[in-house]
Amino acid sequence: MTVIDANRMHEIETRYPEYFHRSFRQRFGGLMILVATLLYSLYAAWFFDLPKLFAEAHWERVGIYLSQWVSYDVQPEFRIEGDGSIDVRYPRFSPLGDNPHPDWLVNNPDGSITVSISGTGRSVTVSKSETIVTAHGISVPVDVSSGAPEVVGPVPGWMTVYDDNVLADLGFAGNVSISVDRVKIRKRFIGWANFIFDTQSSFFDKPVGEVVSLIVSGPRIKPDQSNLSLAFDDIWNNSEWQHGDVWTKLFQTIVMAFLGTLLGALTAFPLAFLAARNITPNRLLNQILKRFFDFLRSVDMLIWALFLTRAFGPGPLAGSGAIFLTETGMLGKLYSEGLENIDNKPREGVKSTGAQTVLVHRYGIMPQIVPVFVSQTLYQWESNVRGATIIGAVGAGGIGLKLWEAMRTNANWENVAYMVILILIVVFIFDTASNALRHRLMGTKTH
């Protein structure tokens, strides 16, 4: 065991004062950061009034919207006629088509109709004098023979009585609205209805095997068109899901991102040489171009899109222009800063041979900056694929506009889910491809 005397200890403290005589910042810096973070969090909670925001938020809508992303509903209406008969009607654009005969609707011998709501014991039986709702292990009769619907017996918590109707909430399975002369049922199904063929298609409601048989070797449904071509047309022009329009808009978004990024890179590249102080020794020109880059990138892409849609009208041209302006500023700044940080030795070596300026740039600068520039451009491109979706919502074309139109109806959330999934797939593909190209250019390995 080694013992250090006082002199040796004093010598060590003199040699390494930073370890024995720490400043106030070194001793309490971490604590100060923690306290500052806590105080800022409390301030943000007060400024945004987070307790009230969370208390008054409509959290139930989250579940409703998410359920509508992955399901659809059918809404049969049962009208009780004066002679006691029950007329079943469906909305004009029902997912079941023009002549529905679902197996979950049963006509009983006594003239009543029973609708199975789900496979968990929920059902509704409609007759001329009463409607019986069965759910949560109990059956609740609702008398409709008098002037207003009346629940017979205790009213369960999942049933609400109003002046002229009774509403039964069956959760995700749907709901039932009961009035004196009609019963409306909303029955929910998991999945996306008619995603391949809509109700107007010749292949609608046919089993998969029959559809394949018709396409491969069946007789022509339309004499002047093959069944394969007809099936493709029916899928592409599906009136409910609009696959053709969605995919066309998605392609527009990709083209907008590519064209805007390409034009921005081609414009920013030569301007960056003029903005770099070590390449162009003209301080006034350097500052003018750098402030120009700052101006272009300080105005958000969404704002540029709003300006250009007013100038050129809605469409992909405005979207491409917005990306072009933003990327000229962004890439111009990145390129010029990259040029200012190059190693001057290769450049000076080429210059010492008496080479022209173009050759000096070609052999003294380009080998250093090309991998970095391409990497930065690819990153901006993949980012602009996402950005092009956002600016499309303000009229700049692409799938963003289509997505916004579907969201505004507040009813086509399954279509929203479809487009969101397509956008995620495209972004994932472009991110993966861009990362692979960047790693290849930079000489690094991907994991």
Grouping H, G, I as helix, E, B as strand and the rest as coil, residue 241 is coil
Share of the chain above pLDDT 90, in %: 30
**What is the predicted pLDDT for the residue at 120?**
66
User: Is the domain of 328 the same as that of 412?
Assistant: yes
User: Is the domain of 51 the same as that of 86?
Assistant: no
Distance, in Å, from the CA atom of 444 to the CA atom of 447, rounded to the nearest integer, reads 10
Q: Would 67 be classed as within a structural domain?
A: no
Is the pLDDT at 315 greater than 90? The verdict is no
Domain count, the chain: 3
**What is the predicted pLDDT for the residue at 17?**
67
CA dist list (Å): 365 to 341, 344, 346, 349, 361: 11, 8, 7, 11, 5
Tokens of 160: 């609400």
Range of the domain at 255: 243-442
User: Is the domain of 283 the same as that of 422?
Assistant: yes
User: Is the domain of 403 the same as that of 321?
Assistant: yes
User: Is the domain of 308 the same as that of 428?
Assistant: yes
**What is the predicted pLDDT for the residue at 136?**
86
Average pLDDT over residues 82-96: 86
Grouping H, G, I as helix, E, B as strand and the rest as coil, residue 113 is strand
User: Is the domain of 47 the same as that of 139?
Assistant: no
Q: What pLDDT digit, counting tens, does each position of 143-161 carry?
A: 988 878 899 889 999 999 9
Average pLDDT over residues 333-341: 88
55, burial (CB in 10 Å: exposed 0-12, middle 13-18, buried 19+): exposed
Chosen domain end from 145, 164, 190: 190
Q: Would 196 be classed as within a structural domain?
A: no
**What is the predicted pLDDT for the residue at 390?**
85
**What is the predicted pLDDT for the residue at 132?**
92
Distance, in Å, from the CA atom of 390 to the CA atom of 401, rounded to the nearest integer, reads 8
Distance, in Å, from the CA atom of 376 to the CA atom of 370, rounded to the nearest integer, reads 10
**What is the predicted pLDDT for the residue at 333?**
92
Is the pLDDT at 447 greater than 60? The verdict is no
Q: Would 138 be classed as within a structural domain?
A: yes
Q: Is 124 or 65 the better-scoring residue by pLDDT? A: 124
Q: What pLDDT digit, counting tens, does each position of 12-68 carry?
A: 667 666 666 666 676 777 888 999 999 999 999 898 888 888 888 888 777 777 888
Q: Would 122 be classed as within a structural domain?
A: yes
Q: What pLDDT digit, counting tens, does each position of 250-300 carry?
A: 999 999 999 999 999 999 999 998 998 888 888 899 999 999 999 998 988
Q: Is 138 or 314 the better-scoring residue by pLDDT? A: 138
Q: Would 213 be classed as within a structural domain?
A: no
Distance, in Å, from the CA atom of 113 to the CA atom of 133, rounded to the nearest integer, reads 12
- Whole-prediction pTM: 0.78
Q: Residue 199: which of 237, 146, 164, 226 has the closest Cα?
A: 237
Q: Is 40 or 357 the better-scoring residue by pLDDT? A: 40
Q: What pLDDT digit, counting tens, does each position of 374-404 carry?
A: 888 888 888 888 888 888 888 777 888 888 8
| Contact by Cβ (8 Å): 142, 166 | yes
Q: What is the mean pLDDT of the chain?
A: 86
Domain with 304 in it: what CATH number? 1.10.3720.10
Which residue do the tokens 């694929």 mark?
385
User: Is the domain of 156 the same as that of 86?
Assistant: yes
**What is the predicted pLDDT for the residue at 292?**
94
User: Is the domain of 276 the same as that of 364?
Assistant: yes
- Give all strands of the β-sheet with 123-126 in edge-to-edge order: 105-107, 113-116, 123-126, 130-135, 138-143, 150-151
**What is the predicted pLDDT for the residue at 16?**
66
Q: Would 97 be classed as within a structural domain?
A: yes
**What is the predicted pLDDT for the residue at 368?**
79
**What is the predicted pLDDT for the residue at 440?**
77
Instruction: Give the helix/strand (H/E) hosting 79.
Output: strand 77-80
Is the pLDDT at 445 greater than 60? The verdict is no
User: Is the domain of 185 the same as that of 265?
Assistant: no
User: Is the domain of 332 the same as that of 406?
Assistant: yes
Q: Would 329 be classed as within a structural domain?
A: yes
**What is the predicted pLDDT for the residue at 229?**
92
User: Is the domain of 140 the same as that of 34?
Assistant: no
User: Is the domain of 92 the same as that of 48?
Assistant: no
Is the pLDDT at 446 greater than 70? The verdict is no
Q: Would 418 be classed as within a structural domain?
A: yes
Share of the chain above pLDDT 70, in %: 92
**What is the predicted pLDDT for the residue at 345?**
76
Chosen domain end from 190, 205, 228: 190
